[in-house]
Structure 1
Amino acid sequence: MKPEYYQVQRALQPFVSHIMVVDVRLDGAAYGRVAPFPPTPQNCLNFYPADATRSRQGQQAFQDLPVCTIVGPQTTKVDLAMGPRHRFVSVAFHPGGLFRLLRLPLHELLDTPLDGADVLGPELREVSEQLQAATQPLAMKNIVEAYLLRKMCLDATIPFEHALRVMLRRNPAPTIDELAALACLSNRQFERKSKDVLGYSPKLFARLVRFSKAYRLKVNHPHARWTTISHQSGYYDQMHLIRDFKAFTATTPKLLALEIQGSPMKIQDDLWL
């Protein structure tokens, strides 16, 4: 399986990282094998226009995800099981992008995937139906992109959004004082706005950025030592890395690596951040 990545039109680029399309048959592994999906700092709008994708948290039972699922702020690992025909169209937002689409405080969505049609209205069901009828990845991308151009607030980016992207990309992460200054806000205002726009505090967001980088480094370089990965990801030492893995996945790096090896697909190995 190799995802198709598409850059979006210029008007969307400040707010949308890319649109990804996957179309694969998993007949031998359908629903019988589980793919771990640890938390990432990236919000998504996901469409499943073929067989349902099932999800669970912890030891809960698997449940079918909505045909269009909003994935907001996430702090816990979920397990995913894909059907025989796995078609997946994902809109990956820059920090603040999903907030512009929903116009809702994202802390209300913490670890709670939502049915996109319930939040964004019946037009999203029409988009899902068009995706079911489409046969080419580029056509699927164009359908979703046209919807975003109609629905998203495309006003110019603000200093706060710029500060969030600096936090996402700079290693080591800037201090809260530096970020608040970039956002032209006081520290308290920056904290409050982060909870609305990101769904969690700047410190927790920075931890998620660091953890996600470490996780994806291990996926892409399975023989790399955890000590090396911890330093490349911005951790002070390996114990800090282990602490975050336990906090965000309820397991250790070693055990999670074994889950990755048994997964039918490596869902985050090509994740763009």
Structure 2
Amino acid sequence: MEAVLAQSTGFFKERPAAAGLASAFSAVWVHRMAEHDAPPIVITPDATIDLQWIDGRFRIAGPDKEPQIERLPAGAVIVGFRFRPGAAAGWLGVPAGEILGGRLDLSELWGTRVRELSNRIKATPDLAGMVRQLENTIGMRTEGRDALDPLMGRAFDVIKAGLPPETPLVPFLQRHLHMSERTLRRRFEDAFGYGPKTLDRILRFHRFRHLREKAGDASTAVLAVEAGYADQAHLIRESRRLTGITPAALT
């Protein structure tokens, strides 16, 4: 069975994180797989790390710098809590570089401490009730704790917005953040799981996808340059590298 992009199959809904979670999380989402013949799904790098509730357990997904293929049972439901940029390491107590590309049971990081969270979640057929339980439980672990790395959050925003044309990324960030190159790379790997150039590649591709969603039938070549690519060929190479398919095949 051919793999499909994750959000193009089943039911997917996302909303901003509630106030009690917002210091560490940006969004809460639910993905219910199709009830029959659920295909393998391709998870593309998106510069995020998620805390997920799946099959009665907590796991950590990401960060990714290559596409991942997952095979989930038909009808499976995943509830995800997306960390704010730079917040996962502080909340988890583990540098993001140590979980790069991972799909890890939270117990692998926390040991028996994870039971304190898991034991609060009671089985219920009501999905909305399950999400409320999860929000309340994770909120108890989040409120009053300072998980954010403000400097790395600022660096993320700068890269996401896009640098001026022909601007060398690392020297620009060094000046902007007042860091040596070695410190800059270490801080990025701790906060995001990889260095600034990889983050820039991932965010540039998502900038293109956002532009295309807004622009409809606009020329791919024009959107590629607007997103920060040298040309359309550059975009196609990056699309294949990050998703395994060309921009034309994306839905």
Q: TM-score, with normalisation over the residues of structure 2? A: 0.77
Unaligned runs of at least 5 residues, structure 2: 1-10
Q: Secondary structure at the match of 1:245?
A: helix
Give the Cα–Cα distance (whole angstroms) in 2 for the partners of residues 229 and 125 of structure 1: 48
Residues 218 and 224, structure 1, Cα contact 8 Å, conserved in 2: yes
Give the % identical residues.
24
What pairs up with 1:161-176 in 2 under 5 angstroms?
161-172=152-163, 175-176=169-170
> Cα distance 1:27–1:128, how it changes in 2: closer, same or farther (>3 A)?
same
Match of 2:44? 38
Worse-matched range after superposition: 245-254 or 72-81: 245-254
1:212 to 206, 227, 230: 206
Does 2:95 match 1:89? no
Number of positions where the alignment pairs a residue of Structure 1 with one of Structure 2: 237
Displacement of 1:243: 2.2
Residues 21 and 137, structure 1, Cα contact 8 Å, conserved in 2: no
Residues 163 and 180, structure 1, Cα contact 8 Å, conserved in 2: no
Amino acid at match of 2:26: S
Unaligned runs of at least 5 residues, structure 1: 51-66, 262-273
Superimposed CA distance per residue, residues 173-203 of structure 1 (whole angstroms, 9 cap, x where no aligned partner): 7843443344343333112211122111111
Give the Cα–Cα distance (whole angstroms) in 1 for the partners of residues 218 and 41 of structure 2: 21
Residues 131 and 140, structure 1, Cα contact 8 Å, conserved in 2: yes
Q: Secondary structure at the match of 2:79?
A: strand
Give the Cα–Cα distance (whole angstroms) in 2 for the partners of residues 102 and 172 of structure 1: 30
Residues 49 and 128, structure 1, Cα contact 8 Å, conserved in 2: no
Give the Cα–Cα distance (whole angstroms) in 2 for the partners of residues 15 and 80 of structure 1: 26
Amino acid at match of 2:72: M
Give the Cα–Cα distance (whole angstroms) in 2 for the partners of residues 35 and 216 of structure 1: 21
Superimposed CA distance per residue, residues 3-49 of structure 1 (whole angstroms, 9 cap, x where no aligned partner): 14242225x4243111112346x22333xx23322111111112214
> Cα distance 1:172–1:81, how it changes in 2: closer, same or farther (>3 A)?
same
Amino acid at match of 2:162: N
2:173 to 179, 182, 205: 179
Q: TM-score, with normalisation over the residues of structure 1? A: 0.72
Match of 2:24? 15
Superimposed CA distance per residue, residues 38-73 of structure 1 (whole angstroms, 9 cap, x where no aligned partner): 1111111122147xxxxxxxxxxxxxxxx4321122
Q: Which has the higher contact order (CA 8 A, sep 6+)?
A: 1
Question: Alpha carbon RMSD of aligned pairs, Å?
Answer: 3.2
